[in-house]
Structure 1
Amino acid sequence: MEQPVPVGFVSSSGTMSKPEQERAMLTLFYSPHMTSVDNEAGRASGHADIPLSAAGLKQTSELGQHYADQKLEAIFHSDLQRATTTAQIAFAGRNLQLIPDARLREYDYGDMTQYPVAQVEEEFARRIRQPFPNGESLLQVVKRMGAFLRDVMREYDGKSVGVIGHRATRYGLLYWSSATSLEEIVNTPWEWREVPIWRYELYAQDLEKLTLPA
């Protein structure tokens, strides 16, 4: 399966020196894209490029209001349109750079793309290391998120950024920010919030030390 390639974001070459790792820190605010047409229909979109619903378009403006007082240096978002539109509307008028990155995409559910959500979720425990047919495993999802976070850490050390993504985005953040096991991630019910914003503090030394399980 072809892995997603970053769009519009060029990483620095090389890794951080040990002193840089010891002091580097990134504050990241994550929100999922707002309600899509597939969300309303109970379908798991995966990499299918599904638009926001009318309700989702309304929610994006409300999301932007919740971020109004938050100082951010840039907004990263999945290149799928439901995340792109969320970022464009939520942060309109703020003069923030909006940076699409394919590593923030949803899980690739492969042959199960747009299957009923409940049916796809039943597969999660079996798909930690074994990919969905013609799709991704959770291990692959977490790996691409780790590469994204290392790149952003180098460019935005000591700063705060926003991320608009998907379920897979948050799974990657959970793993790299807290070393939560992959098994625990898929067995924990998805957390919904009235104000859908999660704050993470990530440290370069932890990103470098933490390795992916076999």
Structure 2
Amino acid sequence: MSIEIVYETHALSEDNERGIATGWLPGRLSAQGRANAADMGRRRRDDGIVAVFTSDLRRAAETAQIAFGDSGIPVLHDWRLRECDFGARNGSPAVDVKLDRLEYCDRPYPGGESHSQALARVAGFLADLPSRWAGQRVMLIGHLATYRALEQATTGRTVRDLVADEFEWRPEGWEYRLG
């Protein structure tokens, strides 16, 4: 039985606005991000979602709390939905991390993980979903690594191709069917 997945990135963070690659640092939503999160809640609360899964990093957890905290929809935190761990480069300028990102598809960032490891981590989360949520509609709030893992699971594209792509944020998010 398949699972419907609604995916949205965490709302705009202060680091996003400053051009920082937050990675595994907690981050914090900006004023615009808090407004975006409230919009997400208005858009998605009556969308048939039975559970919301979010990265445990502060910027994603804060997005979920603002959007769904008082909705009655369970919000579940899972570390496997985190962004790629850029290791020593967490908190670096995003333009620098983006510039040589293809060098870290299979080789870990110093003190961190590779993009392949990050996608495998998220894939482990996706593999666990059917044990409780088969046949239902759930929402994931995460990061670029979450998006790439969903794209890989549904299209079979390589990690290198996914990392090479330019990411374009969609205010309405993405929808996937697994299984």
Aligned to 2:178: 202
Give the deviation of 1:168 after TM superposition. 0.9
Give the deviation of 1:67 after TM superposition. 0.9
Is the CA contact (8 Å cut-off) linking 2:9 and 2:143 kept in structure 1? yes
1:57 counterpart = 2:34: yes
* Count of matched residue positions in the alignment of Structure 1 and Structure 2: 179
Give the deviation of 1:196 after TM superposition. 3.5
Q: Structure 1 length normalisation: TM-score?
A: 0.81
- Per-residue CA deviation, residues 164-213 of structure 1 (Å, 9 max, x unaligned), is 001111011111111111121011110222x241000011xxxxxxxxxx
Task: Please show how residues 40-189 of structure 1 align to structure 2 within 5 Å.
Answer: 40-189=17-166
Q: Larger C-alpha radius of gyration, 1 or 2?
A: 1
- AA at the equivalent of 2:47: Q
CA RMSD of aligned residues (A): 1.0
Give the deviation of 1:89 after TM superposition. 0.9
- Per-residue CA deviation, residues 24-77 of structure 1 (Å, 9 max, x unaligned), is 211100000011111111000000011111111111111112213300110000
Is the CA contact (8 Å cut-off) linking 1:83 and 1:164 kept in structure 2? yes
Return structure 1 stretches of 4+ with deviation > 2 angstroms.
Answer: none
Q: How much identity, in percent, do the aligned residues show? A: 35
Gaps of 5+ in 1: 1-23, 204-214
**Alignment partner of 2:92: what SS?**
coil
From the superposition, tell whether residues 131 and 196 of structure 1 become closer, same or farther in structure 2 (CA, over 3 Å): farther
Gaps of 5+ in 2: none
- Per-residue CA deviation, residues 123-148 of structure 1 (Å, 9 max, x unaligned), is 21111100111111011011111110
Give me the whole-angstrom Cα distance separating, in 1, the residues matched to 2:144 and 2:87. 16
- AA at the equivalent of 2:69: A
